[in-house]
Amino acid sequence: MTDMKLPPVTQIAVVSFALIVASGIWIVSHLPEHVPLGPSAILIAASALLVVTNVVLLLRVPDFEWGRFFAVAKWALLAYCVIAGMLEWVFIKDGTRGGELAVLTLSLVIFAVHVPLLMGYTVARYPETYD
């Protein structure tokens, strides 16, 4: 299909999303009582680390088609920023504040960055023309 040797970006993204989902479930399943934020912070940090790992891995792919990556990723980023913005607004409107809000906001930021990255990668991994 393609001769390009590619890093396991999708697999890493799956783990990153799973960590965010686990963190989110941990927080919302405790509300409105006080939420111990330690587990969530660890999960979010691990998820963010995986986003950075994916970016570094992609940067190291020789001749990666960044043009087509950004052509898709920029619009996906816009769409997922709208979605994340609406979710953030709902959390704020419902009175979520302090540490809980900070962790949820970070989760949304990771979500809004990693989904477009994955979409851009899935498109750019296949070459424009085939031999």
The residues that touch other proteins, with contacts defined as CB under 8 A, are 1, 10, 13-14, 17-18, 21-22, 24-25, 28-33, 68, 72, 75-76, 79, 82-83, 86-87, 89-90, 93-94, 111, 115, 118-119, 121-123, 126, 128-130
Task: Show Cβ contacts of residue 35 under 8 Å, excluding neighbours closer than 6 positions.
Answer: 26, 27, 99, 100
Closest separation in Å from C-beta 45 to other proteins: 19
Residue closer to other proteins by CB (options 62, 130) is 130
Single-letter residue type at 84? A
Residue 93 φ/ψ, nearest 5 degrees: -60, -35
Residue closer to other proteins by CB (options 45, 86) is 86
Residue closer to other proteins by CB (options 14, 42) is 14
Residue closer to other proteins by CB (options 42, 79) is 79
Cα 101 from Cα 95, distance rounded (Å): 9
Distances (CA, A) of 113 to 24, 30, 129: 17, 26, 28
Residue 115 φ/ψ, nearest 5 degrees: -65, -50
Closest separation in Å from C-beta 41 to other proteins: 18
